């Protein structure tokens, strides 16, 4: 007979019994161990301590090392997040080396700024166009510090730390170079010529990415239960989304035809037709297709940028594009658009006559010849 489920008691990804309880606005999360009975007894004691106003953890920020708290944080809280793999790498490869032996109370702004400087001087495994190691980007360092901030906030919430000594408003984020790369109409034509020979999976993947704006993970994890070809839309569930919000995406004709042409041999839309297993990634096939099409410096995520840019070029307003991309704010949407619209072209053209004042009689004929036939140049 299966044991009854007890509220506030659960198992983490490693199979350890954990406690997660909130009483009188005080929350306690602890990893107990392999024994369920021991976890039940600990839950009873902690609930009683919280009701009496005692500290449920029995710890003090004066003797808690960052690395000790971080392991508990990763076991109980971060293991539930979609970004767990990235958080684990950020902590073990970078944050642990720099902050691991510090007490929670010793992590201050000065130390964080030194971390920014030290990380900025490091390089990644990726190479630049010249074959040199690529510098660690500001965006990567900002994500690592966002994880550190969450850890310290949780340390206060779980009463491992009385209060954080870091005023995060005073910690300046590093500049993040926004990427303005999307498929031009000419590149799209060349790419799809190659995709005709690349197989239905990659072709359908690119068609869905360009015509729906879905992320790579959302497309690869797409199930037939998410697809409604009759009414023409895809419904992504909370567990499939980055922000845990349901998203309904309308399907245009190319997207419908791509989905209708795929065999249903598995619950997943894109899968190996022989085994039915979903694809983990199509990056190598995509890069090969780009190389054959003569397209340089294009990433899979740039297809999402292409979707937003094409909608904007056709006069679709930002709130609509924001809802289609599933963003929580229009500010984020603007990062996915490289706007060069006809209105902008006409606006720049209107300056041509205004910048040609009537010439004086003694004006240099060299300037006259230089100005003749002058036309504005547009960035494509």
> Which neighbouring-strand residues pair with 271?
278
pLDDT of residue 368 exceeding 50? no
**H helix or E strand, kind and range, residue 233:** strand 233-236
**H helix or E strand, kind and range, residue 87:** helix 84-90
pLDDT of residue 24: 67
How far is 116 from 135, CA to CA, in rounded Å?
Answer: 13
How far is 316 from 309, CA to CA, in rounded Å?
Answer: 10
Q: In this structure, are residues 65 and 100 in contact, taking their beta carbons and an 8 Å threshold? A: yes
How far is 336 from 345, CA to CA, in rounded Å?
Answer: 20
pLDDT of residue 178: 66
pLDDT of residue 214: 92
Q: Given the structure tokens 């929670």, which residue do they identify? A: 104
In whole angstroms, how large is the CA radius of gyration of the chain? 28
* Mean pLDDT calculated for residue range 45-67: 67
pLDDT of residue 147: 93
Give SS3 for 134.
strand
How far is 78 from 73, CA to CA, in rounded Å?
Answer: 6
pLDDT of residue 154 exceeding 60? yes
DSSP state of 30: E
* Mean pLDDT calculated for residue range 35-48: 84
How far is 7 from 18, CA to CA, in rounded Å?
Answer: 11
Q: Which domains occur in the chain, in start order? A: 9-58 (no CATH), 63-170 (1.10.150.130), 185-334 (1.10.443.10)
In degrees, to the nearest 5, what angle opens at C-alpha 274 toward C-alphas 273 and 276?
Answer: 65
Q: In this structure, are residues 99 and 148 in contact, taking their beta carbons and an 8 Å threshold? A: yes
6 phi and psi angles, rounded to 5 deg: -105, 130
| pLDDT tens digits for range 180-236 | 788 888 898 899 899 888 788 899 999 999 999 999 989 999 999 999 999 999 999
Q: Which two tokens stand for residue 281?
A: 């990634």
Q: Which two tokens stand for residue 370?
A: 């230089």
Q: Given the structure tokens 């020979």, which residue do they identify? A: 197
Q: Given the structure tokens 């006259």, which residue do they identify? A: 368
- End-to-end CA distance of the chain, in Å? 68
| pLDDT tens digits for range 225-277 | 999 999 999 999 888 887 778 899 999 999 999 999 998 889 999 988 888 88
Percentage of the chain surpassing pLDDT 70? 82
Give SS3 for 38.
helix
Neighbours of 174 (CB within 10 A): 15
């Amino acid at each position: 007979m299966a044991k009854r489920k007890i509220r506030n008691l659960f198992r983490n990804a490693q199979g350890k019994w954990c406690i997660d309880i909130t009483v009188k606005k005080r929350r306690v999360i602890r990893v107990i161990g392999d024994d369920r009975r021991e976890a039940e007894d600990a839950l009873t004691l902690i609930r009683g301590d919280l009701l009496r106003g005692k500290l449920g953890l029995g710890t003090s920020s004066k003797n808690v090392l960052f690395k000790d708290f971080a392991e508990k944080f990763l076991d109980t809280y971060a293991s539930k997040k979609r970004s767990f793999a990235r958080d684990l790498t950020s902590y073990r490869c970078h944050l642990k080396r720099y902050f691991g032996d510090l007490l929670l109370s010793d992590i201050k702004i000065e130390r964080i700024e030194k971390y920014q400087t030290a990380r900025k001087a490091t390089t990644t495994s990726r190479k630049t166009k010249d074959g040199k190691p690529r510098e660690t980007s500001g965006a990567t360092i900002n994500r690592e510090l966002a994880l550190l901030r969450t850890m310290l906030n949780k340390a206060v919430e779980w009463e491992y730390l009385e209060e954080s000594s870091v005023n995060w408003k005073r910690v300046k984020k590093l500049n993040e170079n926004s990427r303005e790369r999307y498929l031009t109409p000419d590149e799209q034509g060349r790419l799809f010529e190659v995709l005709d020979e690349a197989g239905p999976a990659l072709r359908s993947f690119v068609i869905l990415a360009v015509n729906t704006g879905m992320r790579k993970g959302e497309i690869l994890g797409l199930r037939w239960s998410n697809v409604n070809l009759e009414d023409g839309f895809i419904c992504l569930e909370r567990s499939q989304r980055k922000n845990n919000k349901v998203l309904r995406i309308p399907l245009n004709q190319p997207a419908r035809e791509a989905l209708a042409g795929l065999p249903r041999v598995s619950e997943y839309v894109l899968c190996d037709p022989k085994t039915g297993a979903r694809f983990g990634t199509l990056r190598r096939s995509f890069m090969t297709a780009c190389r054959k099409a003569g397209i340089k410096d294009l990433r899979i995520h740039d297809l999402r940028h292409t979707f937003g840019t094409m909608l904007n070029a056709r006069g679709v307003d930002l709130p609509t594009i924001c809802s289609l991309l599933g963003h929580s704010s229009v500010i984020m949407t603007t990062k996915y658009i490289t706007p060069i619209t006809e209105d902008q072209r006409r606006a720049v053209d209107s300056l041509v006559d205004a910048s040609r004042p009537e010439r004086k009689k003694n004006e240099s004929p060299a300037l006259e010849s230089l100005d003749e036939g002058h036309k504005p140049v547009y960035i494509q």
